[in-house]
Chain A
Amino acid sequence: MTDSILLSTKKILGIDADYTAFDIDIITHINSAFSTLTELGIGPVNGFMILDELTTWDQFLQYDARMNAVKTYVYLRVRLLFDPPMTSYLITSLDEQRKELEWRLNVIREGDEYPLDELRPPVVEPLAFNGGL
């Protein structure tokens, strides 16, 4: 099974790996999903993007198996933007699945220690006034 982010997303969308006419569209939507994930605190702190089929899921997930739902999340985001279903039933259900995964990934993220101390707001010592004495 391919670990390429672009190729695996194309596979699940039903597009052959060799058919590249929509690659720019799909890459744009994948990067949009990564942007949201960065805001949720998932993945590299400074953001993440793909340019072609060479970028792999391991580069994003850093071998963290708990985050595998990210793959489905990215698919759902891309499907709803690139190839939205014809029926409102399916649109609603896919969107509900997307919201659930977003919430679950956030739960995992909030259970972790914050990785970079330098991004924490500085601790400000409270000023003590002695009334001018």
Chain B
Amino acid sequence: MIRTYTELSRLNSFEDRFKYLVLRGEIGAATFGFDRYINQQFYVSAQWKHIRHHVIARDNGCDLGVQGFDIYHRLVIHHMNPMTVEDISHGESRIIDPEYLITTTHRTHNAIHFGNEKLLPQALRDRKRGDTKLW
């Protein structure tokens, strides 16, 4: 399944976008492993920094690009289709193509990769009389 921004942008709610993006990887499963230095070189490249600003501006700095979910802390640009060592070493254009990138937070990013919905931002609860009583 190739995930794209075009398809993602047709989904309006945060939950629907999360379900579209979720990967359900396993905790501890190797991704880049000992090749992580390649990934780190990529993330400090001029091309990545350039496209990162483009994606943040496009998504209005909001989590999964959903209005109202503004990001104030630990912003991450997520590759909708996980990147591999070969993608970087072969210079695949899709790893810097905004069509396959989305703005998110560190917590939502973890939720996407590990399928843990408890990490997602929670909706505000309606206040009720007496809800500030501690005991």
| Interface residue ranges, A against B (CB under 8 Å) | 85-87, 89-90, 92-94, 96-97, 100
Contact = CB atoms under 8 A, between A and B. Distances in A.
B117 interface: no
A86 B54 CA distance: 18
10 contacts: A87-B61, A87-B71, A89-B56, A89-B71, A90-B56, A90-B70, A92-B53, A92-B56, A93-B57, A97-B53
B37 interface: no
Which secondary structure dominates where chain A touches chain B?
helix
Contacts of A87: 61, 70-72
A89 B54 contact: no
Most chain B C-beta atoms within 10 Å of own C-beta, residue among A87, A97, A100:
A87
A86 B70 contact: yes
Interface residues of B, number: 12
Interface of B: 50, 52-54, 56-57, 60-61, 70-72, 75
A85 B71 CA distance: 11
B46 to A, nearest CB: 12
A104 to B, nearest CB: 12
A94 B72 contact: no
A90 B54 contact: no
Contacts of A97: 53-54, 57
A94 B70 contact: no
A24 to B, nearest CB: 26
B71 A96 contact: no
A85 B54 CA distance: 15
Contacts of A92: 53, 56
A89 B57 CA distance: 9
Contacts of A93: 52-54, 56-57, 61
A90 B54 CA distance: 10
A85 B53 contact: no
A55 B71 CA distance: 37
B35 to A, nearest CB: 29
Nearest to A85: B61
A48 B61 CA distance: 32
A64 B72 CA distance: 40
Nearest to B49: A96
Nearest to A76: B57
B47 to A, nearest CB: 13
